[in-house]
Amino acid sequence: MKQKETLLSTLSQINGFSIEEMGDEHIGTSADTPLREDAFELDDELKIELIEKHFKEIMQIMGLDLSDDSLKGTPHRVAKMYIKEVFSGLNPANKPKIALFDNKYKYNEMLVEKDITFYSNCEHHFVPIIGRAHVAYIANGQVIGLSKINRLVQYYAKRPQVQERLTNQIGEGLKEALQSEDVAVWIDAKHLCVSMRGVQDVNSATVTSFYSGKFKEEQTRNEFLRSFS
């Protein structure tokens, strides 16, 4: 009994914050998405089956009548949505394959892909984050297809997230894909865990940025910011 009480106390306090406070303050504890080592030992179909079972139990606990035609398929729909859609970015097998092409045009100025709309989910309450990303890079000897930038943003967005981590993951992912340091990311997003619950502020938005290489220089960074402001 004492061991159980000690464990519960430890779980309820992390780095001086209670679990509830960490969620309300949007505190992140890891630069990488926290995943167990055995995260992909189960195949997708089994994960869907297990999530369906547990989500059905949640709905029953809330008192919903799952014999109703509108509700009886919901546990399966939610489970399939989690694995195949909104959290598909957890699985590295879904990471977009990005091919590099020779920069035959010899274009060595800034390229900006702006207003990339994305939908993610807050890892503290599993409610949506709705935002737009502006991404830029300066080509060295190679370039990537424009759609691949969008796909990379969506890949990292489709997992439980905090915005700071999402911004860094997109930046580092683009650096890796381009084999270049000259990358910038700017994200403006609304968090429904702020507007739907808690403080219930429907007007505020959160802005985060990532600058690497030449984008750490004020002139280059300002050129990037002017491209979408």
Active site residues: 122-125, 163, 191, 193
Q: What is the largest CA-CA distance in the chain?
A: 70
Q: How many Cβ atoms from other residues are within 10 Å of residue 142's Cβ?
A: 14
Alpha helices in the chain, H assignment, sequence order: 2-12, 19-24, 44-61, 74-81, 146-157, 163-178, 192-195, 218-226
What is the rounded CA–CA span in Å between residue 211 and residue 181?
9
The answer to whether the CB of 162 falls within 8 A of the CB of 148 is no
What is the rounded CA–CA span in Å between residue 220 and residue 214?
7
C-alpha dist (Å) from residue 49 to 44, 52, 72, 202, 218: 9, 5, 15, 36, 52
